[in-house]
Structure formats: structure tokens, C-alpha cells
Structure 1
Amino acid sequence: MSGTRSALVTKTPKPSLTYQLVSSLLVFPVFRGLFRGSCRGHEHVPREGPLVVVANHGSHLDPPLLGHALGRPVAFMAKAELFEVPILGSIIRACGAYPVRRGASDRDAIRTATAKLEEGWATGVFLDGTRQADGRVNQPLPGAALLAARSGAPLLPVAILNSHRALGSGHSLPRLVPIQLRIGEPVPAPSGRRRADLDATTAELQRRINSLLDQGLLRP
């Protein structure tokens, strides 16, 4: 077991006041009211310690919805330029986002995300790395599996249903369709960093998320 794994803390940082206000006054009304949002599978979410949250990606709605619906803060990478915007920068930083510079290497991003895990955060990763027009996992990348292999943190598969229809690529205005999050059982971290191990875990995450998507919207 690597030194990185043994250095992981077990306590999860408490959400800041700003995070709680944004979640309760902005994200909650949008998710529950406008999009009639619901979430199933909360019993699968570890409440303490580092966690790699892995999801499909259909729209810009996905990061705040994940952080709200899971019941614990989820840190996401964000373009460094956003942190320079007055007010917005302070808000997203308080909500656990961390900056990544344009042109930064994947290795730099992995190091930053691993540091968040060492602090006990849940760190969010979209398996395709970018939005997908059909909202599914189509060409998964091994970054989430590598994060888990480096840190020893479990991976939590989450399917976000209908966000690609609500505000996907090419949509300037949202469509008020129901959005549902379905949380699967955690997947153990890969046993090593060999490409074969990372690919096997990545394929399993893809299978589980797409399987949850295939179940369609279920009653809360």
C-alpha cells in the first residue's frame, strides 16, 4: 500500500456557510422545484472520508446537482478564470471547487484532485470528461480510476437522468423536464495503477452508470 493511501484522513470537511446557503437557497429550489428533482440510493453514499464520485455528464447543471443531492459537499475542478470573477470566484471556492489552469497537464490536475481526497473531500469526476449529447457514458477516461488507485478512495457511480435534455449542448434555455439522480453501490479502488487495472475499473463504472440510466426515471 502506498504512502498516499496511508496518509488519507477519515474526517470529512464540514460544508461552509456559503456552501449551505447556495445549496438551500439556489440549488434546492432549482432542482426540486423547476426540475421536479429526486434522488435514489442515498444509502450507498459513505458519509465520512475521501470518495471519488463518478457520473455521466449531460449539462452544466450536473456539478451543483451532485453536490446538493448526495448530502455531502463534492469538490470539482473549475477553470481558473472563474475564480477571478468577483463574487462568483468566492462562491465556487467556498463550495469546494478548485482551479485548473488552461493548458495544465493531466498530471497537475490529478495531483490537485488527490490533495482534495487527502483532506477528506468527495471529489467529482465526469467519466467522459466533457458533456455528452445523449447524456450517457460513451468514451470513458481512466482519470477517476487513477485517482482512486493513488488514494485508495472508493468510487461511487452516479447516474444523472435527463440533465442533457434539460440544458445540454446547444441549448440556450432550459427545458423543465424531470431530473433524477440514481446512486449505485461503491466500487473498490483498483488494486494497482497498471493500465489494465485502470481500464477494468473504468469499464465497470461505465457499465454501472449506463445500467442505472437504462432503468429510466423511477418514482422517488
Structure 2
Amino acid sequence: MKNHTIQQLIYELVSKLFVFPIYKFVFKGHLIGRENIPQTDSFIMVSNHGSLLDPPLLGHALGRNISFMAKAELFKIPFLGFIITACGAYPVKRGIADKNTIKTACKKLSDNNSIGIFIDGTRQKNGRVNKPKQGAALLAFKNQKLLLPVAIVNSHRLIRFKFCIPLFSKIVIKVGKPVQPPQSSSRDDLHSVTMLLKDKINNLIG
């Protein structure tokens, strides 16, 4: 309990001092669908992925301490590594297939901590969900947790340059209605829920 409290304090400090000004003033961040965010039980947030800044921006916007699976290399990047560590991110080698990652995710969910998964497993140049993995659906079944589809719009083109002048895109985060976990761990059930999440996220993106 003590470690959880300390982690929560660190998260709130980093979120307010570092992430908030970037989200609100640099990228003019805006959240749509706050009423769809579960407020009591933990959940699995599933999102598209276009930028290294997605984890802290999403966690801050949703107002929940969401632990993200992040590539181990990201923890070595100055500043970004500090932020994602403070926000509860944990390293993953190759997506959800890593057994240690699955154990860590299940432990966090059982401790009532929400987790975040980028359903494609890596950044997409078009900012949409293209080839989703079934890991999120499998975790939802194993832990009987709701899946929360979230779209982060424009994250794949956060910064553009015009005549060497940086132009910052407006970030819009859209939260869809939660999706129930699969009825079983069969390939068909996992595929069905995964495709439903893909469609919901891409529809939110527009």
C-alpha cells in the first residue's frame, strides 16, 4: 500500500508539472468521452499508436494512472524514460508474447491498476489501427476486465515544419464505450473482440 501511494504521488507530480503543459499548451489537448471511463474497477485501455509521447499524454488526459507496456529501448531515452517510469510503464521485449510482461500486466490488474496497450504493438505511420494483436483481448479474458477503446488523433503528426518553423498539431483524445472481455480464449472469440476494438478505435479517429 505504501509503495502504491508513493507511485501515485510521483505520477500526479509528473503529470501536473511535466505532462500537463505539453498536453494543454503545446498540443492544445482535448478529451471527448470522459463519461465512458470506468471510475472504480481497473480496466485495459486499448489505443492506436503514433508517437513516443502517447503513453504520458493518454495517461494524463484520462486522469487515471495507467501502466503502459513500453519497448525496453524507450527507458534509455532522457526525460521520456523518466516520465514513463514515473507513470508506471514497464518494459516489454516483443509485445504481449513475453511471459514476464503477461505476469506483470496480470499482477497490476489484480492490484486494481489499469494498464494500457497499443493494439498494433508499434507505432503506425498513418496513426490508425492496421494489424491489431490479440494480446489485449487475451488479457481481458484472463483477468475478466473491461477493454476501453481510445483513439488519440494526430499523434502520428505531432510536429511538422514549415519554412523551418515547427507547427504543433492539436491532440484530440476520444474515449469509446467499454467492451466486454471475450467469452473464452478461443481463437475465434479473441479475433472477434480484437476486430471490434480495431473498428471502434478507427471509427473514433474518423
TM range (shorter): 0.7 to 0.9
Corresponding position of 2:150: 158
Who is 1:191 aligned against? 183
Find out whether 1:142 has 2:131 as its counterpart: no
CA distance in 1, matches of 2:70, 2:192: 28
Question: CA RMSD for the aligned pairs?
Answer: 2.6
More helix by share: 2
Give the Cα separation in 2 of the matches to 1:122 and 1:69: 14
Q: Tell me whether 1:54 sits opposite 2:54 in the alignment.
A: no
Shift of the 174–48 alpha-carbon distance from structure 1 to 2, 3 Å rule, reads farther
SS at match of 1:156: strand
Question: 2-side partners of 1:122 and 1:167: how far apart?
Answer: 29
Partner of 2:22 in structure 1?
A: 30
Question: Which residue is 2:172 aligned to?
Answer: 180
TM-score (norm 1): 0.81
- 1:211 is matched with 203
- Give unmatched runs, 5+ long, in structure 1: 1-11, 215-220
Give the match's secondary structure for 2:116. Answer: strand
Aligned partner letter, 1:160: I
Percent sequence identity over aligned pairs:
51
Contact 2:147–2:178 (CA under 8 A) maintained in structure 1: yes
SS of equivalent to 2:70: strand
Aligned-partner Cα distance in 2 for 1:29–1:95:
16
1:201 alignment counterpart? 193
TM-score normalized by the length of structure 2: 0.86
SS in structure 2 at match of 1:96: coil
- Match for 2:87 among 68, 91, 95? 95
List per-residue Cα deviations over 1:19-62 (Å, max 9, x = no partner). Answer: 11111111110011011110010000001222000000011111
2:63 corresponds to 1:77: no
Count of aligned positions: 199
* DSSP 3-state at the match of 1:26: helix
Distance across 1 between alignment mates of 2:113 and 2:19:
20
**In 1, Cα distance between the equivalents of 2:73 and 2:85?**
12
Whole-Å separation in 2 of the counterparts to 1:106 and 1:174: 38
The question of whether the paired residues in 2 share the 8 Å contact of 1:165 and 1:175 is answered with no
Q: Answer yes or no: is the 8 Å Cα contact 1:15–1:73 preserved in 2.
A: no
Which stretch shifts more, 193-202 or 82-91?
A: 82-91
Q: 1:132 aligns with which of 124, 144, 147?
A: 124
Shift of 1:83: 5.5
Distance (whole Å) between structure 2 residues aligned to residue 58 and residue 86 of structure 1: 20
